[in-house]
Amino acid sequence: MKQKILERFLRYVKIDTQSDETSNTTPSTEKQFDLARVIEAEMKEIGLEDISLDDKCYLMGTLPSNTNKEVSTIGFIAHFDTAQDMSGANVKPRIVENYDGGDIVLNEEKQIILTPTVFPELKEKAGQTLVVTDGTTLLGADDKAGIAEIITAVDFLKKNPSIKHGKIRIAFTPDEEIGRGMDHFDVKIFGADFAYTLDGADIGELEFENFNAAKAVIKIQGRNVHPGYAKDKMLNSILIGMELNSLLPVNQRPEYTSGYEGFFHIIKMESSVESGQMVYIIRDHDRKKFEDKKVLMQKAVEYMQHRYGEDVVKLELTDQYYNMREKVEERMEIVKLAKKAMEIAGVEPKIVPIRGGTDGSRLSYMGVLCPNLFAGGMNFHGKFEYIPVETMEKSVEVILNIIKINAEK
């Protein structure tokens, strides 16, 4: 199985599927279909049924039940796209066999080094087979590892019909990285009683809590005047933006928070004297603290409007997704099922809150409860991304155990 999953993963990551938040289409980039069609062909080759790839790049398929027992239909989901933070084109993965626990030179010419000095968890992977980048692109384990794991699991079940299982639905989606993965997902067609996303990181991660999330776009209209004659006339949108940012609590920035602590994160600022725009993401696991953070942002803008005028500073505040715990805790047995599956595989479950979002959070509010399982990738979204092949193997084993336990109930 190790070689099979590695071969799949290496093929998938070489296909550029980077999404684009500036696009108004679904998928946001046509190249996501390049991978979708490869996976569609592979699903047909395996012998799955009810395979469908729609015009918005949602790919679904079925492994039919092979038992006479009434068994819940389980879904497994992963996403095609890679993040915008770094290029997903021309990925040149490299395999590091029997990793020695020390520095890995990703790119000798540019002296880009993956080192446990910066990433101490690397030492825990000593002796394993790692897939790394060449230091110029991301790897794409987020979430092509999840795709490879799901496909490998259903392929294994298809080839081993003696393993009894209920109906399995799988789905692969576009645009998760830009928050649109569930925009056109058809829950009724998917037809799962519950599901799991394979989109987590390190081995053992089991997540059913995520941030509540909002996006704040602040537009600033300044007034540019020759600096020699600017007294009492100029409104510098750069300085207004800096002043507004100073009203938000410093200790609630991402670099000062962890665990369940939320934050205000400025992700983009484009400004000149004449005009500017600032984009923030607002995050908190606690719903009340989340709402309080939105109120604080609104009050900061209102203060600036009072100082400079309502036409000078404007706020667009939009909720993006909510903490899936509010839904999943109604049926904690699906979390316990995944936990048991990990323990049988010899994996210690790490039940931790996601300091981010997941398609599963939106799906849980759409009617299909959907915790998140580890896929194995580390240091997502950048040139230091890597994945141990052994973790991918364990992920497949966990998927198979979930399916087996569910059929035995």
- Are 317 and 327 within one domain? no
Considering the entire predicted model, what is its pTM?
0.89
Catalytic residue among 155, 176, 209, 385: 176
Split at pLDDT 50, 70, 90, the class of 338 is very high
What is the arithmetic mean of pLDDT over 239-268?
A: 97
Q: Are 204 and 100 in contact (CB under 8 A)?
A: no
CB 144 within 8 A of CB 42: no
* 151-170: average pLDDT: 97
Domain span at residue 217 reads 212-321
Nearest alpha carbon to residue 102 among 86, 114, 89, 88: 114
Asked whether the predicted pLDDT for residue 386 surpasses 80, the reply is: yes
b (16+ CB within 10 A) / e for 34-45: ebbeebbebbee
Give the pLDDT of residue 82.
97
Residue 44 has pLDDT above 90, yes or no: yes
* CA–CA gap between residue 281 and residue 214 (Å, rounded): 6
CATH of the domain at 331: 3.40.630.10
At residue 357, the pLDDT reads 78
* For residues 54-69, average pLDDT: 97
Average pLDDT, integer, range 119-125: 96
Q: Active site residue: 16, 40, 81, 397, which one?
A: 81
Same domain, 305 and 290: yes
User: Tell me, what's the pLDDT at 396?
Assistant: 98
Confidence class for position 356, pLDDT limits 50, 70, 90: confident
Share of the chain above pLDDT 90, in %: 95
| pLDDT above 80 for 409 | no
CA gap 243, 132 in Å, rounded: 42
Q: What is the pLDDT of residue 284?
A: 97
Same domain, 13 and 103: yes
The total domain count for the chain is 2
Provide the 3-class DSSP secondary structure of residue 261: coil
pLDDT of residue 84: 85
**Domain end call among 277, 294, 321:** 321
Domain boundary among 278, 304, 321: 321
Q: Are residues 136 and 259 in the same domain?
A: no
pLDDT at 273: 97
Indicate if 154 and 18 belong to the same structural domain.
yes
- Per-residue pLDDT tens digits for 182-237: 999 999 999 999 999 999 999 999 999 999 999 999 999 999 999 999 999 999 99
**44-48, 67-71, 235-239, 354-358: lowest mean pLDDT where?**
354-358
Whole-number pLDDT of residue 196: 98
Q: Mean pLDDT over residues 167-177, rounded? A: 97
Cis peptide preceding 103, ω within 30 of 0: no
- Do 315 and 327 reside in the same domain of the chain? no
pLDDT of 1 reads: 82
- Give me the pLDDT at residue 301, please: 98
Q: Exposed, middle or buried, 371 (CB in 10 Å: 0-12/13-18/19+)?
A: buried
pLDDT for residue 311 is more than 90: yes
Same domain for 307 and 162, yes or no, is: no
Q: Are residues 44 and 65 in the same domain?
A: yes
Q: What mean pLDDT value characterizes the chain?
A: 96
Residues 357 and 279 in one domain: no
Q: Are residues 91 and 109 located together in one domain of the fold? A: yes
Assign 79 to helix, strand or coil. strand
- Look at residue 179 in the predicted model and tell me its pLDDT: 86
3-state secondary structure of 96: strand
* pLDDT above 90 (res 142): yes
pLDDT at 282 over 80: yes
What CATH code is carried by the domain that includes residue 218?
Answer: 3.30.70.360
| DSSP bridge pairs for 249 | none
Residue 49 annotated in active site: no
Q: Which of 268, 293, 321 is the last residue of a domain?
A: 321
Under the banding of pLDDT at 50, 70 and 90, the label for residue 355 is confident
Token pair for 297: 């942002």
286 is catalytic: no
**How many distinct helices (H) and strands (E) make up the chain?**
10, 17
Kindly give the pairing relationship between strand 168-173 and strand 74-79: parallel
What is the arithmetic mean of pLDDT over 55-73? 97
User: Within this chain, do residues 340 and 389 fall inside the same structural domain, yes or no?
Assistant: yes
343 and 317 within one domain:
no
